[in-house]
């Protein structure tokens, strides 16, 4: 029988698991460790305008995920307005509308942006060159002279843009520049000159992030294209490059804010920066789930909490497999230790151990009496279940009376499993003596404690919850362990006498 | 305290994982397990194949039937109650003789009819069966074991475990109950395991609690002179269990009855590995040799093959 299909399946699971995990790490910046802190900016835009009294429509540009930043969640507060998010000319926009608005109007939009140095900006098509630029005299001569001067001192679109912009800075302003500035605003003028020289460029608006600032406004920037690449230039200084704290709010060359049916409109920004654990930052990712980024995070929060536990069970089961197949520890009930370990997660280890031993010890004594009553098995186990519930109730009340609140968590123990454990231990005691009870009971407890330590590890919790691909890797590992024909650790001791001759 | 995997490998010792995957998983079809996991089925099948088993007094299948065991036991001196689906000797109650309304165990402990009925009732509700499923109780005649072994055992009946691989007997041991094992024949409970030479049926080596022994701890009788009569018949019966069950890796538990000779007590589709300790030898080289043999050899020829290839001289004599 060929084992090839088996190894192919294992290899496939491993590759798929690793690929899925890396995809999640790269695509969604889910970090490998839970301790990592991520900086998140909370930015609020407040739109103010005076409504004319009739219907009103407000159209505002919205930021998208871009180089250095990833947009997490966004919220709006705009009572009485209908709201739609639109994609227009390569930019995201929000459109508020209402039939009737009078007086001062305030609309709020808030967004969470995660600082993500690995985030890449999406591919942008360069804007079409505007060929229809017409200058009136005497500006036409001034314009062509300015272009001529910068052109001669440059070699490519970027150096040209730099030279052109520096010619308009305060200290180097020539006559031509001054003349042009009397008629045009600086940034549109620069874009116009660049376009005239055959360099695709457009004006974009960015927000300089600074912790705790309020009533900030957007600053204009010039995006200059060289084939498919682009660079940002500061129209005030000619400096090339994007400052780290610049969030591009509008990057499609459109107006930031358009208001119909109102006047005196303006938009102000306030911002806060927070550090939060990476896991929390991940949780608030926009739920744009496709099949590939299939994620637990798209579920409601309550179900996520449930899944956090469910996804840990394979880790506990893996511990059981390792301890049984590689070490050779005997347990009472194959996966009973995993359930006990799950209870330990709720109770904490010491309380859980003490509680477990108390319940099982008292249960064994009572079960011993039950065996004299000569009952049918199912009835006897049921009697043990009721006994276990009674023991747990008594311990809870007692510990509460003595002020030990930890004792209350004892109710997290799986009672039916405990009852079967007691039943099995009791039979084991009668048939094989207390030594076997100690061996199997001790083995179960050791396995439960190790499974607990594995499942309660913050890193393990983080990995299993955030990387579903890990489940495939676990599956592959367990398949491999299921194929292990070597000796168990404890067999090295068991068979030692044979090797001594 | 510990040895190394390399040394175990050199000795040809088989571990649990290897046994499970390489032999049980490969040669024992799960579909056939019920034949050996249910002692009643084994018994009926054995009768069909002419393999001797202890006489069946009766079966109890319902809780209602528990009240009728007394009638069933009329005329029998001693008897054994077993769960049909029990494992590892669990739930087996041996009553040596009936003394008025007292039921005497080999240890001398006395039970009432109520105790016996409760035991049967426990068996029926599945206390001893795999997975706790409802079970059937078998009541069998007591085995009159060969007096020649009385020096080698304490209370219980010594049984002989033969590992049969693809129909070839590959290794054998005798299990002698002791005071430490409370009359039970389980090695981990303190019974003495005696490796038996496949060729001659004589003792090779004795082990108790993983340590070597040359005598029985309770009777003090030395093990070197232990010799199983009718050895070839016993091997022939054990080898025939392959045709009977179709299981390739099989543990057969045999007993020697004074009147009826070798008998099949029960079969085990997952025989333990302690037999390697009792023989002081790993199973691996023997299993490898058998795997190279062609299929379809008659049981008699297989026994002859095994007796020829697995002959060993006793370790007890040279040191005694």
Residue-wise pLDDT tens digits, A17-30: 999 889 888 877 77
Q: Which residues of B touch A376 (CB under 8 A)?
A: 63, 121, 125
Q: For residue B320, what pLDDT band results from cuts at 50, 70 and 90?
A: very low
Question: Is it the case that residue A180 has pLDDT exceeding 80?
Answer: yes
Report the C-alpha dihedral over residues B178, B184, B185, B187, rounded to 10 degrees: -70
β-bridge partners, A44: A110, A270
The two tokens of residue B257 are: 């009855």
Contact A293, A75 (CB under 8 A): no
Average pLDDT over residues A327-337: 85
Residues 6+ apart with CB under 8 A from A134: none
Q: List C-alpha distances in Å: A382 to A336, A390, A413, B124.
A: 18, 12, 16, 17
Number of neighbouring beta carbons within 10 Å of residue A80:
11
Q: List C-alpha distances in Å: A457 to A22, A295, A317.
A: 21, 21, 15
8 Å CB contact of B122 and A377: yes
Provide DSSP, A6-58: HHHHHHHHHHHHHHHHHHHHHHH---SSTT-EEEEEEEEEEEEEEEESS-EEE
Q: For residue A299, what pLDDT band results from cuts at 50, 70 and 90?
A: low
Question: Is it the case that residue A357 has pLDDT exceeding 60?
Answer: yes
8 Å CB contact of A485 and B22: yes
Query: Is the CB of residue B13 less than 8 Å away from at least one CB of chain A?
Result: yes
- Per-range mean pLDDT, top range of A317-326, A354-363, B256-265: A317-326
Query: Is the CB of residue B292 less than 8 Å away from at least one CB of chain A?
Result: no
Q: CA B132, CA A355: separation in Å to the nearest integer?
A: 27
Number of neighbouring beta carbons within 10 Å of residue A48:
15
Contact B310, B171 (CB under 8 A): yes
Q: Name the average pLDDT for chain A.
A: 83
- Helix or strand holding residue A496 (H, E): none
Instruction: Say whether A328 sits in a helix, a strand or coil.
Output: coil
Q: Which residues of A touch B2 (CB under 8 A)?
A: 492-493, 496
- First-to-final CA distance of chain A: 37
Q: Name the average pLDDT for chain B.
A: 85
pLDDT in tens, B247-303: 989 999 998 888 888 888 888 888 888 899 888 888 999 999 998 888 888 888 898
Question: Is it the case that residue A286 has pLDDT exceeding 50?
Answer: no
- Shortest distance between the Cα of A486 and any Cα of chain B, in A, equals 6
8 Å CB contact of B17 and A487: yes
Q: Which residues of A touch B278 (CB under 8 A)?
A: none
Domain boundaries, chain A: 36-128+200-298, 306-494
Contact A157, A199 (CB under 8 A): yes
Question: Is it the case that residue A318 has pLDDT exceeding 90?
Answer: yes
Q: Which residues of A touch B114 (CB under 8 A)?
A: 374
8 Å CB contact of A492 and B2: yes
Q: Which pLDDT does position A277 carry in this prediction?
A: 64
8 Å CB contact of A491 and B11: no
Average pLDDT over residues B111-116: 88
Q: CA A114, CA A245: separation in Å to the nearest integer?
A: 12
Q: Which pLDDT does position A292 carry in this prediction?
A: 47
Q: CA A358, CA B164: separation in Å to the nearest integer?
A: 47
- Per-range mean pLDDT, top range of A344-348, A377-381, A423-427, A490-494: A490-494
8 Å CB contact of A485 and B132: no
Q: For residue B171, what pLDDT band results from cuts at 50, 70 and 90?
A: very high
Residues 113-172, chain B: which have Cβ within 8 Å of A?
114, 118, 121-122, 125-127, 132
Residues 6+ apart with CB under 8 A from A478: A314, A317, A318, A321
Residues 6+ apart with CB under 8 A from A27: A293
8 Å CB contact of A374 and B4: no
Average pLDDT over residues B166-195: 83
8 Å CB contact of B3 and A499: yes
Q: For residue B88, what pLDDT band results from cuts at 50, 70 and 90?
A: low
Q: For residue A295, what pLDDT band results from cuts at 50, 70 and 90?
A: low
Structure-model confidence comparison of residues B194 and B186, the more confident one: B194
Structure-model confidence comparison of residues A132 and A295, the more confident one: A132
In angstroms and rounded to an integer, the radius of gyration of the C-alpha atoms of chain A is 35
Instruction: Say whether A373 sits in a helix, a strand or coil.
Output: helix
pLDDT in tens, A222-271: 988 887 788 888 888 888 888 888 888 888 888 889 898 888 888 988 88
Q: CA A501, CA A202: separation in Å to the nearest integer?
A: 89
Q: CA B39, CA B265: separation in Å to the nearest integer?
A: 9
Q: Which residues of B touch A330 (CB under 8 A)?
A: none
- Shortest distance between the Cα of B131 and any Cα of chain A, in A, equals 10
Phi, psi of A220, rounded to the nearest 5 degrees: -80, 145
Residue pairs spanning A and B at CB distance below 8 A: 82
8 Å CB contact of A488 and B121: no
8 Å CB contact of A493 and B281: no
Q: CA A250, CA A267: separation in Å to the nearest integer?
A: 13
Using a CB–CB cut-off of 8 Å, the residues of A that contact B are: 325, 328, 374, 376-378, 427, 431-433, 483-488, 491-499, 501
Q: Which pLDDT does position B162 carry in this prediction?
A: 93
- Helix or strand holding residue A189 (H, E): helix A186-196
pLDDT in tens, A374-424: 777 788 888 888 988 898 888 888 888 887 766 667 777 788 888 888 888
Q: How many CA atoms lie within 13 A of B77 on its CB side?
A: 5
Q: For residue B144, with 0-12 CB atoms within 10 Å meaning exposed, 13-18 middle and 19 or more buried, which class applies? A: middle
8 Å CB contact of B125 and A432: no
Chain B: residue whose CA lies nearest to A481: B17
Average pLDDT over residues A169-189: 81
Chain A: residue whose CA lies nearest to B25: A483
Q: List C-alpha distances in Å: A36 to A29, A117, A245, B99, B266.
A: 11, 14, 20, 79, 62
Hey, what domains does chain B have and what are their CATH numbers? 5-36+146-319 (3.30.470.20), 55-141 (3.30.1490)
Q: Given B7, B207, B212, which is nearest A499 (Cβ)?
A: B7
Contact A57, A259 (CB under 8 A): yes
Phi, psi of A406, rounded to the nearest 5 degrees: -60, -30
Contact A476, A14 (CB under 8 A): yes
The two tokens of residue A188 are: 């549109």
pLDDT in tens, B139-148: 988 888 777 7
The two tokens of residue B42 are: 């084994």
Question: Is it the case that residue A473 has pLDDT exceeding 90?
Answer: yes
Q: For residue A169, with 0-12 CB atoms within 10 Å meaning exposed, 13-18 middle and 19 or more buried, which class applies? A: middle
Number of neighbouring beta carbons within 10 Å of residue A278:
20
Contact A91, A254 (CB under 8 A): yes
Q: CA B245, CA B41: separation in Å to the nearest integer?
A: 10
Contact B254, B160 (CB under 8 A): yes
Chain B: residue whose CA lies nearest to A325: B17
Q: For residue A478, what pLDDT band results from cuts at 50, 70 and 90?
A: very high
Q: CA B21, CA A482: separation in Å to the nearest integer?
A: 8
Percent of chain B with pLDDT over 90: 8
Q: CA B45, CA B241: separation in Å to the nearest integer?
A: 10
pLDDT in tens, B190-242: 888 889 999 888 888 888 887 888 888 887 788 888 888 888 889 998 998 99
Question: Is it the case that residue B186 has pLDDT exceeding 90?
Answer: no
Query: Is the CB of residue B71 less than 8 Å away from at least one CB of chain A?
Result: no
Phi, psi of A116, rounded to the nearest 5 degrees: -135, 95
8 Å CB contact of A486 and B18: yes
- Shortest distance between the Cα of B2 and any Cα of chain A, in A, equals 5
Q: Which of B16, B111, B134, B186 to mutate to test the interface with A (most CBs of A within 10 A)?
A: B16
- Shortest distance between the Cα of A65 and any Cα of chain B, in A, equals 53
Nearest one of B105, B150, B179, B138 to B256, comparing CA atoms: B150
Q: List C-alpha distances in Å: B202 to A140, A422, B208.
A: 120, 44, 18
Q: Given A325, A374, A495, which is nearest B8 (Cβ)?
A: A495
The model carries a pTM of: 0.66
Q: List C-alpha distances in Å: A260 to A91, A148, A193, A263, A268.
A: 20, 41, 31, 8, 18
Question: Is it the case that residue A102 has pLDDT exceeding 80?
Answer: yes
pLDDT in tens, B38-55: 888 888 888 888 888 888
β-bridge partners, B83: B137
Q: CA B216, CA B172: separation in Å to the nearest integer?
A: 18
The two tokens of residue B313 are: 């001289």
Residues 6+ apart with CB under 8 A from B287: B14, B23, B165, B170
Q: For residue B314, with 0-12 CB atoms within 10 Å meaning exposed, 13-18 middle and 19 or more buried, which class applies? A: buried
Question: Is it the case that residue A158 has pLDDT exceeding 60?
Answer: yes
Instruction: Say whether A472 sits in a helix, a strand or coil.
Output: helix
Peptide bond into A138 cis (omega under 30): yes
8 Å CB contact of B13 and A496: no
Residue A276: alpha-carbon gap to chain centroid: 11
């Amino acid at each position: 029988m060929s084992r090839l299909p088996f190894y192919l399946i294992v290899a496939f699971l491993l590759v798929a698991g690793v690929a899925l995990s890396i995809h999640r790490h790269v695509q969604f910046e889910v970090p490998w460790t839970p301790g990592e802190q991520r900086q998140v900016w909370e930015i609020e835009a407040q739109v103010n305008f005076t409504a004319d009294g009739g219907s009103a429509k407000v159209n505002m540009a919205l930021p998208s995920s871009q180089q250095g930043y990833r947009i997490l969640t966004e919220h709006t507060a705009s009572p009485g307005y209908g709201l739609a998010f639109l994609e227009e000319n390569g930019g995201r926009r929000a459109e508020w509308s209402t039939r009737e608005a009078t007086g001062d109007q305030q609309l709020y939009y808030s967004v969470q942006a995660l600082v993500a140095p690995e985030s890449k900006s999406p591919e942008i098509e360069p804007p079409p060159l505007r060929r229809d630029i017409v200058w009136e005299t005497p500006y036409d001569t001034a314009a062509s002279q300015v272009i001529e001067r910068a052109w001669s001192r440059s070699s490519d679109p970027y150096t040209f843009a730099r030279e052109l912009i520096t010619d308009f800075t305060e200290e180097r302003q020539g006559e031509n520049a001054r003349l042009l500035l009397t008629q045009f605003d600086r940034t549109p003028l620069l874009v116009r000159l660049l376009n005239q020289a055959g360099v695709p460029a457009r004006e974009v608006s960015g927000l300089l992030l600074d912790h705790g600032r309020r009533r900030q406004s957007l600053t204009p920037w010039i995006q200059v294209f060289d084939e498919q690449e682009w660079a940002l230039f500061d129209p005030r200084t000619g400096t090339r490059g994007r400052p780290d704290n610049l969030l591009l709010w509008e990057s499609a060359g459109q107006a930031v804010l358009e208001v119909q049916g109102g006047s005196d409109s303006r938009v102000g920004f306030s911002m806060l920066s927070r550090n939060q654990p990476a896991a929390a930052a991940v949780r608030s990712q926009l739920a744009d789930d496709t099949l590939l980024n299939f994620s637990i995070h798209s579920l409601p929060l309550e179900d996520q909490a449930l899944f956090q536990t469910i996804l840990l069970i394979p880790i506990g089961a893996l511990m059981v497999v390792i301890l049984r197949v590689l070490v050779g520890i005997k347990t009472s009930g194959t996966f009973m230790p995993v359930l006990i370990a799950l209870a330990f997660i709720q109770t904490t280890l010491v309380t859980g151990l003490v509680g477990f031993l108390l319940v099982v010890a008292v249960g064994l004594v009572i079960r011993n009496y039950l065996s004299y009553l000569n009952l049918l098995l199912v009835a006897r186990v049921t009697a043990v279940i009721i006994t276990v519930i009674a023991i747990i109730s008594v311990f809870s009340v007692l510990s509460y009376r003595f002020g030990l609140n930890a004792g209350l968590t004892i109710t997290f123990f799986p009672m039916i499993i405990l009852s079967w454990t007691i039943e099995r231990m009791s039979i084991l005691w009668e048939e094989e003596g207390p030594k076997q009870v100690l061996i199997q009971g001790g083995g179960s407890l050791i396995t439960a404690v190790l499974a607990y330590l594995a499942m309660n590890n913050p890193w393990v919790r983080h990995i299993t919850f955030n990387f579903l691909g890990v489940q495939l890797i676990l599956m592959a590992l367990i398949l491999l362990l299921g194929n292990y024909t070597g000796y168990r650790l404890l067999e090295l001791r068991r068979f030692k006498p044979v090797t001594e001759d | 305290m510990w040895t190394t995997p390399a040394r175990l490998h050199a000795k040809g010792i088989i571990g649990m994982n290897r046994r499970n995957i390489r032999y049980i998983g490969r040669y024992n079809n799960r579909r056939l397990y019920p034949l050996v996991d249910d002692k009643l089925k084994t018994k009926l099948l054995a009768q069909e194949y002419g393999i001797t088993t202890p006489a069946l007094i009766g079966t109890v299948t319902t809780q209602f039937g528990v009240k009728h065991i007394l009638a069933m036991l009329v005329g029998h001196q001693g008897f054994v109650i077993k769960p049909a689906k029990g494992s590892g000797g669990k739930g087996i109650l041996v009553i040596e003789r009936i003394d008025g309304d007292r039921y005497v165990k080999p240890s001398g402990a006395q039970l009432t009819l109520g105790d016996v009925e409760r035991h049967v009732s426990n068996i029926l509700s599945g206390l001893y069966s795999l997975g706790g499923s409802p079970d059937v109780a078998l009541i069998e005649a007591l085995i009159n074991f060969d007096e020649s072994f009385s020096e080698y055992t304490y209370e219980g009946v010594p049984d002989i475990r033969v590992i049969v691989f693809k129909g070839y007997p590959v290794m054998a041991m005798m299990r002698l109950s002791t005071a430490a094992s409370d009359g039970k024949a389980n090695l981990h409970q303190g019974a003495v395991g005696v490796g038996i030479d496949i060729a001659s049926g004589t003792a090779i080596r004795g082990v108790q609690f993983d340590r070597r022994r040359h005598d029985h701890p309770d009777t003090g009788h030395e093990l070197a002179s232990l010799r199983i009569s009718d050895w070839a018949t016993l091997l022939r019966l054990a080898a025939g269990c392959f045709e009977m069950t179709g299981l390739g890796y099989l543990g057969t538990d045999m007993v020697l009855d004074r009147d009826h000779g070798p008998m099949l007590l029960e079969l085990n589709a997952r025989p333990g590995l302690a037999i390697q300790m009792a023989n002081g030898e790993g199973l691996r080289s023997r299993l490898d040799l058998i795997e190279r043999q062609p299929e379809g050899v008659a049981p008699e020829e297989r026994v002859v093959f095994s007796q020829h290839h697995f002959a060993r001289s006793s370790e007890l004599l040279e040191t005694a």
